[in-house]
Chain A
Amino acid sequence: MSTNIVLCGVGGQGTVLASKLVAAAAMNKGFEVKSAETIGMAQKGGSVMSHLRIGEDALTPMIGTGEADLIIGFEPSETVRMLPFLKKGGAIITSDRAVMPVTAALKGSSYKGSDMTDYLKSLKDIGKLVIVDTETAVREVGSSKAMNMILLGAASRAGLLGDITHEDIIEAMKRKVKPQFVEMNIRALEFVRL
């Protein structure tokens, strides 16, 4: 059976890089990988998602309703938006930091990240729910661009990436990023202690 992962967030948050890293780690272990990304106009502040499927029996890059083993959400309302993809007993790793769309600011109708995370906590049929205080995490890791590694590390440390281990992710990261950023990225990957 394939492992199906949905990564979601707002354009510019770094979902694509995280998805590529998991794919590279899976390829290094000899697995077949398929994925699909949002590219184009929607990237400009819109909702973006990556579908990632690991395993021989994935015939298409897209994940269907109720098929995802894991959702990695970079923004709490985007995590909620992607819930229909999650299978019963599936896992969620999400940032709690809301990104306000311009429309919300204009109408004065800003929503709270906690409304979203409270809803997630109220759900039954969730195998595992990890809510990460990414604002604190990013500050402590020391880079505003580290959110993707922080969330990905949480997923791999929790063993939620199927056959891909935490060590596999670290290996793949070392191969992808410039040497001067390796140490910071390891700090990010190790940040969430479960």
Chain B
Amino acid sequence: MHKEFMMGNEAIAMGAVAAGVNLVAGYPGTPSTEVLETVAKYNDGSIYVEWSVNEKAAMEVAAGAAYSGARTLVTMKQVGLNVASDPLMSLEYVGVKGGMVILVADDPGPISSQTEQDTRTFAMYSKVPCFDPSSAQEAYEMMIEAYEYSEKYNTPVFFRPTTRVCHAYASVEVKDENEFYTNRPEGFVKDSSRWVIFPKLSNRNHALIEKRNRELSDVFSDYARNAFLKGNTRKGIAANGISFAHAMETIKGSEEQPNILKVATPFPFPEKLAVEFLKANNEVLCIEELDPVIERELTYICGKYHLDTKIRGKLTDDVALSGENSRDDVTRYISSFMGWETGSTEADTTVPELPVRPPVLCAGCPHRASFYAVKQAMKGRETIFAGDIGCYTLGNAMPLDMVDTCLCMGAGVNIAQGVGRIKPDTKCFSFVGDSTFFASAITGAVNAVYNQSETTIVILDNSTTAMTGHQPHPGTGRTMMGEINAKIDIEAVLRGVGVEVVERIDPLRLDEAVKKVKETADKPGVKAIIFESPCAMLFKPERPMCVGDNCIDCRKCIKEIGCPGLIIRDNKVVVDDSLCNGCGLCSQICPVGAIKASEGK
């Protein structure tokens, strides 16, 4: 064993490696992305690692490998689980042979997600056992244990950290390479009574799964990561994950110690341990994020065992119903529950007004140019601009204001069709990134062609998956095993499904782009525009722009495109050299030609 400073996600990945994982598949999504990347970085070639086209594909690839006796890991963020839920729900009935861990990172807040859904609830629904780590160290060790449980009970298991566990760093004690487990899969063994799902199998296995989960509830009551830490009062705190860590920090050193129930397996719930804990308390406060999973379980157990312990938490409005639990939140909840005094803090009224900093498209981002070209081309027309998931969701910000809707991965293409069905004279556009196109917008394109929609599908092709940190995808040809294959051509895909009008446009040549957008959008039927320009983070900046003396201070550049590289200093528009990458969009907007590329750098 030795210690390394690592991110929670790295600890999870190295736990899987130490457990002898053979195959890892996933789709990028904050806060889960670094798990797969860490395995790929560490990989000596003995582990098969892929970014799949989406989470459903990842789940199915991993299932096939797990059928074959391989230890597998699937990685995604919580909303990705919705995409993968179809194979997952059935997979639980079929089961696995090799250990299969489904890593789903939840995002309380949410900090970078659409929803505050809780994978613990999904675990209950899908009947899949769930592990919930509270620190990077625990995540590392628990990952190894998760594989053992998965294999022993022939079931996939969830591993569900939250953002603050995923993105926390800690000095983690990890195994040396010679201590790693080696798993040698025997390969797929044909047995249609086991691997082919039919009503008869589902009926038989359903009952077996329910019984197994009851058994697991007992087993988990003795699992050391679920813990009943005895205090010196009749008050208890039940918590999980980062909320548990915060709670321990809050009660550290205090004379009055509440009893603590740490829940590391929210499903199946460690019922026997919980009964013991509940009997030691008159009152219990549940501190958890997202759904009141622990709170509901404890309330249910109190009823089942006729215990008169009072359960408090989200359902009694003692804990906030949404958002993440900060250190201060947890301290406030516990202090109020325990009747502890808290030092009053008076707000300083002399604090100067602070700027708000909403996230924005980077300086030089080609999406800004693409949005602006469409906006100019459609001036004065009745339009709908359906957005999608990726950096380009930020096209909603002023002054672009080019995202009217955003729902989930790939939805925009279909949303635009729906809007058009109700008001046919609306010019319907959808904007989708290249990675998202492959992940889940192709079906939308097929739907549009099949049902003869009047719509323009705009693909913002920046040759990468930018928002999550530049992962490759089918359009780049690069894989996580380091191979370079033929790129899958977006235009060929669109033409292949019957889109007859496909225009490739360079968004940074503004006048030409505006003209082509107008022409394309006015053609009948399904049209596609592919704006091709690489992500500004992917290449070395050209010479930055600079504002010349002939600037008339009309500020049109700032008002029209809102690039962070254009700032006002001493009441004048100037270019921030440290941000500008010389894309030149602003120079094409300036009415007097005052913005030019600077001389050398």
Contact = CB atoms under 8 A, between A and B. Distances in A.
The finding on whether chains A and B are genuine partners in a shared complex, rather than unrelated, reads yes
Interface stretch (B183-191, B222-230, B359-367, B377-385): B359-367
A61 B168 contact: yes
Interface centre among B167, B559, B562, B563 (most CB of A within 10 A): B167
A23 B328 contact: no
Nearest to B570: A110
Given A34-B169, A60-B245, A103-B355, A40 B5 contact: no
Contacts of A77: 354-355
A59 B568 contact: no
A44 B361 contact: yes
A104 interface: yes
A59 B248 contact: yes
Interface string B563-596: 1101111000000011000000000000000000
B339 interface: no
Contact of A119 (B328, B350, B391): B350
A101 B327 CA distance: 28
Nearest to A145: B578
B563 to A, nearest CB: 7
B552 interface: no
Contacts of B563: 102
B481 interface: no
B568 A105 contact: yes
Contacts of B167: 36-39
A112 to B, nearest CB: 9
Contact of B357 (A46, A57, A63, A84): A46
Interface in A106-129: 106, 108, 110-111, 115-116, 119, 122
A62 interface: yes
Contact of B359 (A34, A37, A44, A105): A44
Contact of B5 (A24, A37, A43, A66): A24
B171 A32 contact: yes
A149 B352 CA distance: 28
A27 interface: yes
| Chain B facing A: main interface SS | loop
A186 interface: no
Interface string A79-111: 011011000000000000000111111101011
Given A45-B564, A104-B355, A105-B567, A64 B331 contact: yes
Given A36-B164, A62-B326, A23 B169 contact: yes
Contacts of B555: 108
Contacts, number: 151
B358 interface: yes
B359 A46 contact: yes
A61 B171 contact: no
Contacts of A27: 3, 5, 171
B246 A60 contact: yes
B397 interface: yes
Interface residues of B, number: 55
Interface string A58-78: 111111111000000000010
B475 interface: no
Contacts of B578: 144
Interface string B368-407: 0000000000000000000000010010011100000000
A83 B431 CA distance: 40
Given A59-B245, A63-B327, A106 B350 contact: no
B199 to A, nearest CB: 43
B252 interface: yes
A106 B327 contact: no
Which of B328, B467, B562 has the most chain A CB within a 10 Å cutoff? B328
Interface in B231-251: 242, 245-246, 248-249
Nearest to B34: A39
Given A23-B5, A105-B558, A46 B326 contact: no
Given A23-B5, A36-B169, A115 B357 contact: no
A83 B348 CA distance: 10
Contacts of A18: none
A119 B352 CA distance: 7
Interface of A: 10-11, 20, 23-24, 27, 32-47, 57-66, 77, 80-81, 83-84, 100-106, 108, 110-111, 115-116, 119, 122, 144
14 contacts: A20-B5, A24-B5, A32-B170, A37-B169, A40-B30, A41-B30, A46-B357, A60-B242, A60-B327, A65-B327, A100-B355, A105-B558, A105-B567, A111-B355
